[in-house]
Structure 1
Amino acid sequence: MKKLWVIWLLAMGELLSVDVGHGSMDTITIKGSGTTQEVRYYGESLFEGNFKENRQLRYSADYLVNIGDTVSVKLWGAYEYQSSLTVDSKGNIFIPKVGTIHLLGVRSESIATRVKKSVQGVFNNNVFVYAHLENFQPISVFVAGGVRQPGLYEGLSSDSILQFIDKAGGIENGEGSYREIQLLRANRVVKTVDLYQFLLQGRLTMSQFKNGDVLQVGKLQNSIRVEGEVRRPVIFELPADSVMVDEVMQYVVPKPNVTHFMVTRWQNGYQSVQRYDLTERYRVAIQNGETIHFMSDYLQDNLIVKIEGEHGGLNTMTVQKGANLESVLQQISFTSLSDPQAVQLYRKSIAQKQKQLIQANLKDLEARVLTTGSSTTEEAKIRKEESSLVLDFIKRASEVEPKGQIIINESSDLSQVILEAGDTIYIPKRSQVVVVEGEVSLPNAQTHVEGYTVDDYIESCGSYSPRANQEKVLLVKKNGRVLTYDASNWWRKKSMRVEPGDSILVLGKVDSKNIQITSSVTQILYQIAVGAAVVLRAF
């Protein structure tokens, strides 16, 4: 097991020296630089919303009335009066025939009681009272520390910490802390906020701001990297120098199939990697600057295959490593519309190789275009125009993504086709349609006619377009196999049977006086048509 573990680590990066230790866990010390992976900070998406635009009045029973707040008062009965009154600099409101009523510091839910008591002191019980907080005091708050745009920001005294930080551009990743945010009033700390609690539980205690308050976002002190079998890799801020792995897992939830985790540490220029069972998360501490990598032994022995198209089962299938195509096809529930004879297999590694081949040919073509000389001024002008067209073609061709299809021949032994992780098995529907694409007068899809040849289907599309390369007509069989048909040479024509579900692709001519460029572009067009099932026009 340890040997397999070392091999796995070797595949992860360059290792200059490896020392496998002993004990209840596998310990591997690596000298050299660790692998790098771009990750986001935990909580980074919090300020990608629109907190700063929210200006709604939020009622809170615990809100304390402040100078500048607006209170709505209505009296009826023996005395009628209605007005919106602003709390003055002494904390009072004034009601005619009643006098001043002191409201500064009164809880929002007690406003009506306080006003009613003062009114009844004048009118006894023959006047009815309704009073409530109508609007909050406009204030200005300083936002400083680890934010993108420190400054003075306007708002309401009922606004949340999130709104003011969002107005300051959010927390600066790598500098500001999500876990150490202080509200200062008269140079004294009134409140400390940990936004990770809000992210985990959705709880955020509302703070009543006052004019001149300072919101100080602390400096990032301790952090770790979290990688592997998690929803997404993140940089996680620690509330202290070290915490237990279990606490980290409460925020960064690993995938259900996780069975182990690794902790990577640096000591004296050496990288030490320790592997633990997931049950040990309660006793293992992780410290500032370390990396935790969640993993699954289950995935080392199994792989996931996608099943798409016309079938009656699940869209993914988990099989043992080493499973073959024949055994998986036997487990697929075909429907009455499925076409088992046209099953298609797509592989990511093949798609990557096809892409690399196309890119290599495009680079060669680009170099050839840019280094081709001209003997006259007129020829140079023509070369320049042609180069512009070819470079545009290169740009368009580089954006095409090959499918990575593995052609399944009828005589193949499918028990010898070993599946890989990420393979996609596609089950086509039974079809009576033949699709004609590319350089024909009217590309379309037609019903299959028994006995029709390639020429018959092209003729029914209005024949070839003037740009058609009749030497490169492709008949793509329903299982993905590609046959080349030369329609330009009557003597060398060979009859090809067109079956239901087949496609006919007519490639275009390459209009260039340079034989090498013509040959290169034609080859690339063919590779794209075969690898991506796309007919790309050259220029």
Structure 2
Amino acid sequence: MQKRPFRTPLSMVLAMCATALFLCTTPAVAQGTTPFLTQIRNLTPKQQINYVLEARKRGYSLPQLEGLAKAQGATLEDLSLLRTAWSDSQTGGVGEGLQENLQDKGTRSFGNEPQMFDFFEEESDIFGSGFFANKNITETPQFYVATPAGYRLGPSDEITIDVWGASENRYEVTLSRQGVVRIDRLKPMYLSGLTLAAAERKIRNEFSSIYTGLSPDSPNESKVYLDVNLQKARSIVVNITGSVEAPGTYTISGFSSVLNALYAAGGPTENGSYRNISILRNGKEITSIDLYDFFVKGNYPSFFLNDQDVIVVAPHHKRITVEGAFKNTGRFETLENETIEDLLSYTGGFSSTAYKKAVYVDRVVELQREIIKIEQKAYVTAQLSDGDTVEAKNVTDKYTNRISVSGEVYLPGNYPFKETPTLSALLKSASGLTPNAYAEAAILYRSNQGFVNEVKTIDLAEIVNNTQDVQLQPNDSLVVISMENINPEKTVTIQGKVNEPGEVPFFKGMTARDLILIANGFQDRANTDQIELYTNVTEEQTNKRVDARWFSLAEAKEVELAPSDLMVVRLKPGYQSTTFVRLEGQVTRPGTYPIIKEDYTIYDLFHDAGGVLDGANLKGVSIERSITKETQENIEDTADSLNFFFKDDTKIKIGVDFEKVLSKKGDHPDNILLKSSDLVLFPKEDSTISILGEVQRETATPYDNSISLREAVIRAGGVKRSSDYKNAYVVYQNGDVRGTKNFLFFRIRPKLEPGAIVVVPLKEQRERISIQETIGLTSAIASLTLLVRSLTQ
């Protein structure tokens, strides 16, 4: 007997996808049986949110998760919990730890391949599909609202009957499966199918047998009142089938409308109808819903579902594509006998720039297509065919009667040709020329067949004086030029020790004193006795290019300036600003000290600071110096090949053996001249040696006179295999660095001092030749050998 090939049902595939989807959830969940989406209600809120974060990390969207849930038969409660967890994960309600989980990139696969859910992510252009794609909408109705007037009672509805007045009592009853309620001393009452108002009338009529005060003619002192309310709506099971995204059986509230149920099922598919949704009850169609009544007119379908109702979404009727100048474009559905006029109402009408007297229809006619023009008068009668594309044209941006003016007029813009047939009329409409207008020449651009093909220069002074006028043509454009463009601005410049140096406008009759006042006066130490003024004299056809002269502040009011003059106010001769150095460490008076002379040295600073404190390491003195921008540029210009690179705060450290400087009373090479902003440090004595780098254990060891570099490395456990011990070096406390020297066959290691650091560098890794490279090199040598042999023979 031949075995049939095993085929995996679609439902089983979806269940397997959902199972894989949860493999990356929280450890607390993963330890047990992997839950399905229908079991999300069994998780804690934190686990639910963590599950959603994992899903988002793997690239899943909310619609994709909803699709999986619906495929597994999830209830509205499951979907609501899923959406709440998704919302909380976006608002940070789970704390920072879980948010970090979202950013962590794991390696495990989450669920099945994402492309199987691509249809959830694509935005459909079908009219009405946006409603079902909106994640902010819930299919769960509000429970804490007044009972809708059209709601009809059914099995499992819970109602309360309140009696007050001369008698008070409260009855809480539930409709049985037969739609009956039972109350002591009364016969069973059949309420199924009745509205709440009708049920109240029936209950009132039955209760009047035990509460005589319910009678309308009862006296006031024995009056009894009755009120009936729905305490809890029943849950109903509906079947949704046809062209919907997730057909199946759904448990929903009795308050739910057809819209709620369709939203739970994901809405109609690409080929589903939004206008022919049938409701079957007991095998018979009891009503049909057109969702366009809600989307276009706002008429909410007030029809309520009963248990075991079937919602059938039929395939669409005529699908019409709308393009061009409509307020809403996309694909719309029309019914039989609907016309262009109906389609216009669905699109919201034409846009503001549309040509409204005709639309154009692209229609399939047998084996070909044709374009049909439909005039405005035929909108009411012209019917559409499935697959039609209806287009409304936008009007052109071309004008037939425009005259434009721009530039130096009070009211620039566009004017109608009939009101401005001449230039004088155009200037009058524009309220005339501004004071900055260059009236001697304006430019008139003239267009023909949409192109500017003629330019005229117009003397506007003659137009203003009525001695001449120019006839205009439609689409003419007049540009009135500014005097500032014709006569460029003239300037003078002031530089040097003034408060606001720079370039300023030149005015006729301007003097040097005026320019000084405009620059807001002098800075401190400005040389006001010798102000320099440079004037360009190249126009005078002499050998000189610039004429220079000098004057004092008292003479400045008599010095008249010319355009492009340069005035320079320099510092007083011989003046230099005070510079400072900073002293820190084991000194008597640390702080900031001025450089009091040109040859101010570290030895001078030592005496000015009153000497050092006990415990200062005179061999470890260092000077930290900033490299100026000028020095950086000079180094970079002269040593480009070295690829020097400096940061803005580049500093160097200079080591000083101040013990020798002190013993020679300053007559020693280490007695360095100090510069502005130098930082001089007298460190505290350090009685240890530090060993760093490629040693077994980086450490520090006490210093003694007999310790060598080799002994220090041994105290650190020796070197690693990756070390370059022969190039080990020592960094002293003052910043000096000394390496190993080679003399004949001997290596001379640097001596150690207190506070020194021994550094064992990493050995440079050399790339090994691969087998392929070895073979290639051998082949090349063999070929070269054969070539040499052939040449020598």
Structure 1 length as normaliser, TM-score?
0.49
- Rg: which structure is higher? 2
Structure 2 length as normaliser, TM-score?
0.34
Q: Relative contact order (alpha carbons < 8 A, sep ≥ 6): 1 or 2 greater?
A: 1
